Amino acid sequence: MFNLILFGPPGSGKGTQSEKIIARYGLKHLSTGDLLRSEIAASTSLGLEAKTFMDKGQLVPDAVVIGMIRSAMEKNPDAKGFLFDGFPRTVAQAEALDQLLAEKGTSIHSMIALMVQEEELIKRLLNRGLTSGRSDDTNETVIRARIEEYQNKTTAVAGHYRALNRFAELEGEGGIEEIFSRIAGEIDKHLV
Ligand code: B4P
């Protein structure tokens, strides 16, 4: 298996680049943001609970997202690898993910982090909010709260994989194809 984490602040291009990565490399895409939004759309109790956090720009509790990832992995026993997008976002989530993969006899091969300046993130998310219908993309105060959550709770996850020597940081500004070429160059180093 080849397992990759795409990492970066909200609006850094994780969702955008994930689509291109799965198309080229055939990995199973697991986005906690997408999984949570489908729970919200189906009005499940998990979705209704998650929405109260997401609408404030806060992270959803670890136990909820870890349980969701566990069941998504169990539904895909034949995947040739996973692309984790938006997960892990806390050190506790990273430790749980390492454990889940160890149970399958595998591990994370690489974490790729996209670097984007804060003002560019805000511009992209407000722009997406014009059409996405996402309540967390339309209010600049909520967007800034998401970025603050990232700085306070999520950046530490990079240190976890850096310590394992499985971390690469790439420029996340520029054209979408140009950024994808950088990501593919990094992935290919692990596949040759
Ligand atoms: P997510 O759904 O993960 O969303 P995101 O971080 O906002 O966005 P992403 O980074 O994927 O967006 P993209 O850049 O592709 O999280 C939403 C919320 O769910 C969180 O705030 C949290 O509450 C909750 N949550 C999710 N996972 C969780 C977890 N593990 N633990 C706890 N809570 C969790 O797109 C942004 C925009 O930029 C798009 O419009 C795109 O078109 C544009 N764009 C992309 N690349 C561009 C480029 N190169 N140039 C210009 N624009 C670009």
Looking at beta carbons, which pairs linking 163-170 to residues 24 or more positions away fall under 8 Å?
164/108, 166/108, 166/109, 166/110, 166/111, 167/110, 167/111, 167/113, 168/110, 168/111, 168/112, 168/113, 169/113, 169/115, 170/112, 170/113, 170/114, 170/115
Separation of 71 CA from ligand 1 center, angstroms? 22
- The one catalytic residue among 28, 37, 51, 89: 89
Which ligand 1 atom lies nearest to the CA of residue 54?
23
| pTM passes above 0.75 | yes
Separation of 165 CA from ligand 1 center, angstroms? 25
Indicate the helix (H) or strand (E) that contains 122: helix 118-132
Q: Environment class of residue 75 by beta-carbon count within 10 Å: exposed (0-12), middle (13-18) or buried (19+)?
A: exposed
Percent of the chain predicted with pLDDT > 90: 97
Known catalytic membership, residue 89: yes
Q: What is the pLDDT of residues 142-169, one digit of tens each?
A: 999 999 999 999 999 999 999 999 999 9
Average pLDDT, stretch 2-7? 98
Q: If you search the block for the tokens 């996402």, which residue do you land on?
A: 134
Known catalytic membership, residue 37: no
Q: Which residues line ligand 1 (CB under 6 A)?
A: 10-16, 32-33, 36, 53-54, 59-60, 65, 86-87, 89, 93, 124-125, 127-128, 136, 146, 176, 179
**pLDDT at residue 192 in the model:** 76
Q: What is the pLDDT of residues 19-77, one digit of tens each?
A: 999 999 999 999 999 999 999 999 999 999 999 999 999 999 999 999 999 999 999 99
How far apart are alpha carbons 175 and 179 in whole angstroms? 6
Known catalytic membership, residue 24: no
Q: If you search the block for the tokens 């109790």, which residue do you land on?
A: 45
